[in-house]
Structure 1
Amino acid sequence: MPFINIKTPEAALSTAQKTEIGHRLTELIVEYFSEAVRPHTMVLIEEVRDGGYFRADELFVLPEAYRAE
């Protein structure tokens, strides 16, 4: 079973964007492994709360300009 796990800052993606990512990644996996894997492919998009991780040794908070509308 192909499993793709994406972690993204909370509120960085809209529901429509997450849906598109799920569809496109599933299509990519099917291209490589065949149509037989489609029903077994899982795409998990995890949203990490602001202040929930560090980047470049600093606490990361998503800038307002990058938040989904």
Structure 2
Amino acid sequence: MPFANFKVPERALSAGQKEDLIHKTTALFVEMFGGGVRPYTMVLIEEVVDGGYGRADEVFTIPGDLPAAS
């Protein structure tokens, strides 16, 4: 079963953007492995609470002046 797990900042993607990401990821797996994988493809989008992730010892937060996805 092909499986993709995306971790994104909380409220960074709208419902439509999540749906698009799921469709495009599924299409990528079908392109790579053939149509037989479509029914078994799993795409999980996890929203990480603001400040709950970082890189190189730097904690990331979404700037307050950026609008949240709707």
Tell me if TM exceeds 0.5: yes
Larger relative helix fraction: 1
**What's the C-alpha RMSD, in Å, of the aligned pairs?**
1.3
Q: Could you say what secondary structure the match of 2:43 adopts?
A: strand
- Per the alignment, residue 48 of structure 2 pairs with 48
- Per the alignment, residue 67 of structure 1 pairs with 68
Normalised to the residue count of structure 1, the TM-score between the two structures is 0.90
Offset at residue 57 of structure 1 (A) = 1.7
Normalised to the residue count of structure 2, the TM-score between the two structures is 0.89
- Per the alignment, residue 30 of structure 1 pairs with 30
Q: d(CA) in 1 for partners of 2:67 and 2:40?
A: 32
Supply the AA of the counterpart residue of 2:5: N
Q: d(CA) in 1 for partners of 2:67 and 2:47?
A: 14
Provide the aligned length of Structure 1 versus Structure 2.
69
Offset at residue 35 of structure 1 (A) = 0.6
Offset at residue 55 of structure 1 (A) = 2.8
Structure 2 unaligned residues grouped into runs of 5+: none
Q: Deviations over 1:13-35 (max 9, x none)?
A: 00000000000110110011111
Q: d(CA) in 1 for partners of 2:44 and 2:67?
A: 21
Identity of aligned residues (%): 58
Structure 1 unaligned residues grouped into runs of 5+: none
The farther-off stretch of 12-21 and 47-56 is 47-56
